[in-house]
Amino acid sequence: MAITQTDLTRINTFIFDVDGVLTDGFLYSFADGEQVRAFNIKDGFAIKHAIRQGYTVAIISGKNEPGVRKRLEQLDIEHIFLGIDEKTDVYEDFLYMQGIHPATVAYMGDDMPDYEVMQRCGFRACPADAADDIKEIATFISTKDGGRGAVRELIEKIMKAQDTW
């Protein structure tokens, strides 16, 4: 599917999953129960830059780990929804409460819990290593894997199209 300039210039909101998008999908589990993930520093820079330029950034993730929340807060993300089993309900409520039109949302997910939300947004993105079902519906497939710069690539592409990078 060809991406048009209109697809890119109408985006004012980025929504991301965490595991497999902002992280590489690996989960390191310690004996004390702590679970650790690695985030890409370049993805973090792009998120902070987008927020400073006036874009809305939100996170909707199935997992709820204190370390994940802390990292997301360090990136100045205000809209953090963790421990969400049904992402579609949270997505629709968030858009309604913020007055955001679905056509202006770029959502990046990587697996089946993201499928329904991706069907409802204006710009569907996924990392290169996303599940095949997600790739089939994606408007944009990053050249980067999750946790390896896919988020940065998406943000930079959209912001450059809008001359805000």
The first and second tokens of residue 99, run together, are: 């007055």
pTM: 0.94
Give yes or no for a contact between 91 and 46, defined as CB atoms under 8 angstroms apart: no
pLDDT at 5: 58
Strands 56-60 and 79-81: what pairing?
Answer: parallel
Q: Which among 138, 39, 56 is positioned nearest to 100, based on CA atoms?
A: 56
Residue extents of the structural domains in the chain: 5-161
Q: Which CATH architecture does the domain made up of 5-161 adopt?
A: 3-Layer(aba) Sandwich (3.40)
Percent of the chain with pLDDT over 90: 84
90-103 CB burial, b ≥16 within 10 A, e <16: bbeebbeeeebebe
Q: In 75-140, where does DSSP find H-type helix?
A: 87-98, 115-119, 132-137
Give yes or no for a contact between 79 and 59, defined as CB atoms under 8 angstroms apart: yes
Question: What pLDDT digit, counting tens, does each position of 103-138 carry?
Answer: 999 999 999 999 999 999 999 999 999 999 999 999
Cα distance between residue 42 and residue 37, in whole Å = 15
Question: What pLDDT digit, counting tens, does each position of 6-38 carry?
Answer: 679 999 999 999 999 999 988 888 898 888 889
